[in-house]
Structure 1
């Protein structure tokens, strides 16, 4: 049996990234932004994102045409841009018998893999990855760093519930347990972003730190040896609330 056959799916995906960087891993298939609109529970929300048909500026707060109604829990430098794999919609729709359309759950970016590489998802991207959206020699191309997974909240349930007359299950909880909510970027370099741009992986300082593994550790009811958790705590760019969760997973003597 080959070594690859003994690897987990995420390890096999990551092995495909053992190439010199920068590496063209995907193309940007859609850029979306939302406007704060009346929502459920007498609130406002911009969770429903619509495609943008022209280049848009990205600064440290995200897409300049994108809004967040609840600045306490959404947006800001450590949640500047959200990317979600299209496969998440396929999984939700298959699990719950729904027809949730892409863009419903608040993502700004969707991509499609190239060069026989894996799709960008929680098993193939890592905390600390820096992605460039645009030509590698274009100094106006946006650069984004993955700093945390997205934590699904009740607004996902409310948003999906608007498209059905009957009460739906707790989709947000299920997505969290599956660890398939996508991820947030901080902006490394301002620039312009537009549908159709190539996506380059330019830095991968923590190849062990897949989002899939982070979710598994965070959701586990088990405790772990310090040597398992400490490398995560040393990741400077990992958002602090996730480090707090991981610290609680260390075995105590």
Structure 2
């Protein structure tokens, strides 16, 4: 794919795209470098409330860089683990890298990943179809607002058990770090719920395309970048990065 963008094919919404197979939360524990961290997430076995700050049972030790309304809930494709384990001959287990949600595709659709989810996508976790709409007043709705930036804690987390250096840099280069949600509607969430894509206002804005633009050494015509800057929900630091990619003069 070029460093510009490609449009997703038109789809009819709402669409049942996946099932939620696991919900995870973590407790702040002693970590490396004499720090605390809740990067290791364990499965939750009962429904959990979700508000604007995320899962009420989930913790973040470093609230400056993790958590908050624009990083309320983290989802990571299981393929990330498969890629890491294949590349480095490891056995890193799912849940090690801080994700709250794990989904599984349905009806022959592709797994949710950075190539097919978009900034601005709104997903509903739970509810049922009825009269061409999705019912479920207590169902959580989440909006993708930014990719996750891999940090040194991924290195420290995996490095506790391996001698592999700087896996975070490799994950970043691959653009496979998952994404953060802002909570659109509070509710409760649990494993085995259906996942519906209910809104896709920016079908061009895949996380894959954003990652390529943000990390490119090239400059781009304004017409390539400006549509991204017009995405209201895109987290501000990403807009700053993209704005610097516009050709001047």
Q: Give the TM-score, by structure 2 length.
A: 0.94
Q: Aligned residue for 1:238? A: 234
Equivalent of 1:31, from 23, 27, 32? 23
Q: CA deviation at 1:75?
A: 0.1
The secondary structure found in structure 1 opposite 2:135 is coil
Q: Aligned residue for 2:191? A: 195
Does residue 101 of the first structure (1) align with residue 97 of the second (2)?
no
The secondary structure found in structure 2 opposite 1:112 is strand
Q: Within 5 Å, which residues of 2 pair with 1:1-253?
A: 14-15=8-9, 18-135=10-127, 136-164=134-162, 167-253=163-249
Q: After the TM superposition, which of the residue ranges 122-131 and 111-120 deviates more from structure 2?
A: 111-120
Instruction: State the distance in 1 between where 2:54 and 2:170 align.
Output: 27
Q: Which runs of 5+ in 2 are unaligned?
A: 128-133
* 1:135-174 deviations in Å (ceiling 9; x for gaps): 130110000000000000000000001122xx31211011
Q: After the TM superposition, which of the residue ranges 109-118 and 184-193 deviates more from structure 2?
A: 109-118
Q: CA deviation at 1:240?
A: 0.2
CA contact (8 A) 2:14 2:197 kept: yes
Instruction: State the distance in 2 between where 1:61 and 1:115 align.
Output: 32
Count of residue correspondences: 241
Q: CA deviation at 1:117?
A: 1.1
Instruction: Give the ranges of 4+ consecutive aligned residues of structure 1 lying more than 3 Å apart after TM superposition.
Output: none
Q: CA deviation at 1:194?
A: 0.3
Q: Aligned residue for 1:3? A: none
Q: RMSD between aligned alpha carbons?
A: 1.5
Q: CA deviation at 1:20?
A: 1.9
Q: Which runs of 5+ in 1 are unaligned?
A: 1-5
Q: CA deviation at 1:11?
A: 5.7
The secondary structure found in structure 2 opposite 1:53 is coil
- Give the direction of change, closer, same or farther, for the CA distance of 1:247–1:184 in structure 2 (3 Å limit): same
